Amino acid sequence: MQRQLELAALAVGLVGWMCSVLTRCLALWKVSGTVDNSTATLPAYWDGVWLEWDHWDLAQDGSLHCSFYQSLMSLSGSFRTWRALIMAAIAVGGFAAAIGGVGMIWFPKRGQVKVFSGSLFVVSGILLLVPTAWTCHHTSQPLEGALLLRRDWGPALYLGWISFALMLAGGRVSIY
């Protein structure tokens, strides 16, 4: 029974780590546009950590145009911090998964390996929580301008919260 619980904890942490990789890859962190989004003249913008998408043709074909950020120097300091924290979370989570997998196979009786792997999953989840919560707070702030604009949370933020919860749960079960 103990071995099955350890495998389940590692699997939950691994699924959380894969969700964090998806969170990094999705360009749908913030969605902004007009309040009703019914006009074809104003675009809807989807901002991510690496890409931004413009949804221009709302009435006709609904085409999307994506582009990488042209300059890293034009991005705010918090944006660069988000990128660094996400990459650190992915690296720490990958290391935790590797240590946990190797520990299960070659050192099944050593509790220190499981505790180390579980604590790395918890650290990885916290590293991912910081930019996700920071972006949620930043997105919920009102926009100022002549047009009634709004910003919403994108699907990547929800996936980031799920990833945090899975890595935290897998890490806690591995520790105990």
pLDDT of residue 3: 81
> pLDDT tier at 83 (50, 70, 90 boundaries)?
confident
- The C-alpha atoms of residue 170 and residue 84 are separated, in whole angstroms, by 23
What is the topology classification, in CATH, of domain 2-27+76-175? Answer: Butyryl-CoA Dehydrogenase, subunit A; domain 3 (1.20.140)
pLDDT tens by residue, 43-82: 566 666 666 666 555 556 656 566 666 665 556 666 778 7
User: In this predicted structure, which of 28-32, 43-47, 120-124 has the lowest mean pLDDT?
Assistant: 43-47
Q: Please report the DSSP string for the chain in residue order.
A: -HHHHHHHHHHHHHHHHHHHHHHHH-S-SEEEEESS---SSS-EEEE-SSEEEEE--TTTT--EEEEE-S-STTS-HHHHHHHHHHHHHHHHHHHHHHHHHHHHHH-TT-HHHHHHHHHHHHHHHHHHHHHHHHHHHHHHSPP-SSS-EEEEE-HHHHHHHHHHHHHHHHHHHHH-
For the entire predicted model, the pTM comes to: 0.77
164 pLDDT more than 60? yes
Cβ atoms of residues 50 and 69 within 8 Å: yes
> Domains of the chain: which residue ranges?
2-27+76-175
Mean pLDDT score of the chain: 77
**Structure confidence at residue 105 (pLDDT):** 81
Higher-scoring residue by pLDDT: 148, 48: 48
- Phi first, then psi: give them for residue 149, nearest 5 degrees: -110, 155
